[in-house]
Amino acid sequence: MHKAFDVHGPAEIDIRLASGDIVIDPTLDGRIEVELTAHDEESQKLVDEARIELQDHHGRPQLIVDVPYRRGGFSFSLVFGRSGIDCRVRCPQGSLVSVRTKSADVRTGGTLGGLNISTASGDVEAQNVSGGVTVKRTSGDMEIREIGGGANVQTASGDIELEIVRGAVSVATASGDLTIGEAYDNVSANTVSGDQEHRAVMRGSVNAGSVSGDVTIGVRRGSKVYLDCNTVSGDTTSELELSTDAPAGDGPLVEIRAKTVSGDIRITRAPAPADDHFFNSVQEVHS
């Protein structure tokens, strides 16, 4: 099934698909193109019943892609061949994307205006999101290159990798590892058995808690730092020179509070970016 619509400016893309693959390509100006491809007979019946329509939502074009769920039972093609439905959407840059699925993988390229995903077990992969990101899921891996707004992620298992986040970050996961390359705002991260790696923090508060996972936090050069680290049976190490004096200087302040039960805590120095305008020294106060 293939449909196309003419639009002006970014759109809202609302996709409801139980299983398969969802690919969003936000590089098409003035137009939205939707293609649904079924890989088995039962899925083709669902595609034939799918609702694809464009409507107005508060002055912005909104695309609805609603594929009904498979009615009971399991398809034998799950064992003997590829099954499910592929959903491909091309839309204008800066479009807002919302996805509800059970197990479909979601991949996006280009730049989205925002991303909201609710899934049980699908993977999530995105390039650039100029606004915020919200992901709620049970399992599956997640990788996003750059987020211009905030990020709110809740999951039971699966690895999470956020390369650059310019807004506030809130992550709660049970058994997956968490990696944040660069954080420019407050970070709140809680894991049970997964490791945490915050490669470069530079301002705001960083609250990192874990039961059995290790926590590594890199502080960008030029930032003033307040450290409050506590672990029950793990080891705590720091590459920074600690002092009980209040931090001085004009650099941004980052407050780090890290707690674990059995995991190790490591505070390291993060490399300065090429366009860094901070001071070359780091001043810390330890509590």
Domain count, the chain: 2
Domain assignment present for residue 126? The answer is no
Q: Diameter of the chain by CA atoms?
A: 71
- Could you tell me if 180 and 227 lie in one domain? yes
> pLDDT grade, residue 272 (50/70/90)?
low
Q: Check whether residue 35 and residue 165 sit in a common domain.
A: no
Q: What is the pLDDT of residue 81?
A: 43
Clarify whether residues 149 and 37 are in a common domain.
no
Whether 273 shows a pLDDT value over 70: the answer reads: no
Q: Evaluate whether residue 116 is within a structural domain.
A: no
Residues 41-52 have pLDDT tens digits of: 888 999 999 999
Helices (H) then strands (E): counts for the chain? 2, 27
The pLDDT of 153-175, averaged and rounded, is: 96
Query: 43: burial class by Cβ within 10 Å (0-12, 13-18, 19+)?
Result: buried
Q: What is the domain range of residue 188?
A: 132-287
Asked if residue 260 belongs to a domain, the reply is yes
How far are the Cα atoms of 11, 87, 204 from residue 121, in angstroms, in the given order?
A: 27, 17, 33
Domain match, 81 and 164 both: no
Position 249 in a domain = yes
pLDDT in tens, 53-81: 999 998 999 999 999 986 554 443 333 34
Distance CA 243, CA 283 (A): 8
Contacts of residue 59, Cβ cutoff 8 Å, sequence gap at least 6? none
